[in-house]
Amino acid sequence: MCRSFASLCQTSTRPVNPVVIRLKTTHEAANMNFKSLRRFSLRFVIAFVALFAIAFAVLSFRHRDLHRHRVAIVELQRLGARLNMTNPKSRVIGSMDEAVGEWYHKPLAVPVAYVPQVGFDNPNLTEDDVREMVPHLKALLPLYGQNIAGESFIALDINNSPLMTPSFCAELKSQLPGCRFLGNPKSKPGPSAYSPGY
C-alpha cells in the first residue's frame, strides 16, 4: 500500500510537458473559433432567408397589383370610360401599347402606363356601367404627385356627364376614397355635351 501511495504522489507531482499544454490550448481555441463561425454562419443564413422571403412577398404583391392595374385599364375602356393615359414621365399616350418602360419596370412591377384622369362624358354610359367600373377604379395605381404635387389620387371628371347627379356622386364617393371628383354634379339627369371623336 505504501508503494501505491508513493507512486500516486509521484504521478500527481509529475511535471506536465508545456508542448502538450500548448497543443491542447490551440485545439480548444480552434474548436471555439469553429463553433463561433458556425453560429455566425447559421445566423447569417437565417437572416438572408428571412430578407429574401420578405422581398419575394413584397414583389408578389406588387406584381398582383400591377396585373389588376392593367386589367382595370382594359375593362374601363370596354365599359366606355374616357381614360387620359400617360407614361411614367407624365407624357400623354394613346394606349398601353405606346408605353415603353425602363429595364427595371417589369422585374420591380412598376407600371409603364398610368391613368391620372377618368372621364364619364360618354352619352351611352348607364349607372350600372359606372357601378361596374368601381372595382376597376380602385385597382388603378396612381403616380405620386402627378395630379397634385405631394399627393396620389385618381381624378374623376364628371363634367358634361348626364349621370352624375348629387345622389349618384355621393354613392360613388363613399366607395372610392382614393379618387377625387372634378366638376359639379348635375341637378338632375340630362343630355351630355357630347363632342364627336369620343
167 located within any domain: yes
At position 157, the amino acid (one-letter code) is D
The model's pLDDT over 149-191, given as tens digits with 9 standing for 90+, comes to 788 899 999 988 888 999 999 999 999 998 999 988 876 655 5
Domain containing residue 81: 35-182
**pLDDT above 60: residue 13:** no
Domain count, the chain: 1
55 located within any domain: yes
Q: Distance between CA 96 and CA 141 in Å, rounded?
A: 14
Most confidently modeled of 65-74, 88-97, 106-115, 148-157? Answer: 65-74
12 located within any domain: no
What is the pLDDT, as a whole number, of residue 30? 59
177 located within any domain: yes
What is the pLDDT, as a whole number, of residue 10? 52
Instruction: Identify the residue with better confidence: 135 or 56.
Output: 135
The model's pLDDT over 19-61, given as tens digits with 9 standing for 90+, comes to 455 545 665 655 666 666 667 677 777 887 888 888 888 888 8
28 located within any domain: no
